Amino acid sequence: MKLPFDKSINWSISVAVITFVLAALFAIISTALLNGLSWAAGMIVVFCIVLIGILFDIIGVAATASQEKPFHAMAAEKVHGAKQAILITRNADRVASFCNDVIGDISGIVSGTASAIVVIQLTIQFGQGDGSLFQTIVSVIFTSVVAAMTVGGKALGKTYAIRYSKNVVFQVGRLLYILEEKLKIKITPRIFNSKRQKTK
């Protein structure tokens, strides 16, 4: 019989592996995109990465703030996405860990790396050498803007997630329903397998 501590170790290992794979994918994709774009388009990519981090932070907070009870009534009426919403709230700790820690931290790291690439592209565009005063100023300003957007966006997102946790979780549940039932991409059994229970 496995102890809860054993499950925690298994989950931690799984999270570490998932983080490694996703971080590599994020880095490869963002670097590939930035290398073929101008500095202006690169800024948009950086802001998109920041928004991804904010979005997943909202989902993680909403999962912990939401309650199962409203979704049971919806599941009884066979509302699409209700069962997935129940699994999200029932496994709020895992959802929060994945959304806030894994995706959130990866987004922060990748956005920082991407910001550095954009700053280099910008200084080259204006004919400034590496280590110049112009590059330093641009780097400080752009990094500060990205940091402000990340922190401010997450602060605002947390308020929204707590206030509208039910709606956020339900919309995520509907998305999971579409992926699983329409596109046949199984997600919840893989993430919640060890803790999954009947939701009927």
Q: Is the per-residue pLDDT at 117 higher than 60?
A: yes
Q: What is the pLDDT of residue 190?
A: 57
pLDDT digits (tens, 9 = 90+) for 47-85: 999 999 999 999 999 999 999 999 999 999 999 999 999
pLDDT digits (tens, 9 = 90+) for 132-164: 788 888 889 999 999 999 999 999 999 999 999
Q: Is the per-residue pLDDT at 186 higher than 90?
A: no
Q: What is the pLDDT of residue 175?
A: 94
Of residues 172 and 34, the one with the higher pLDDT is: 172
Residue that has been written with the tokens 């998932």 in this structure? 18
Q: What is the pLDDT of residue 200?
A: 47
Distance between alpha carbon 16 and the CA centroid of its chain, in Å? 15
Within 66-187, residue ranges assigned H as helices are: 69-76, 82-90, 92-96, 104-125, 133-163, 165-177
Residue that has been written with the tokens 């989950």 in this structure? 11
pLDDT digits (tens, 9 = 90+) for 2-24: 445 566 677 778 778 888 888 88
Q: What is the pLDDT of residue 4?
A: 53
CA angle 85, 106, 67 (to 5 degrees): 20
Sign of the C-alpha dihedral, residues 188, 159, 167, 55? negative
pTM for this prediction? 0.83
Q: What is the pLDDT of residue 192?
A: 62
- Name the 3-class secondary structure at 66: coil
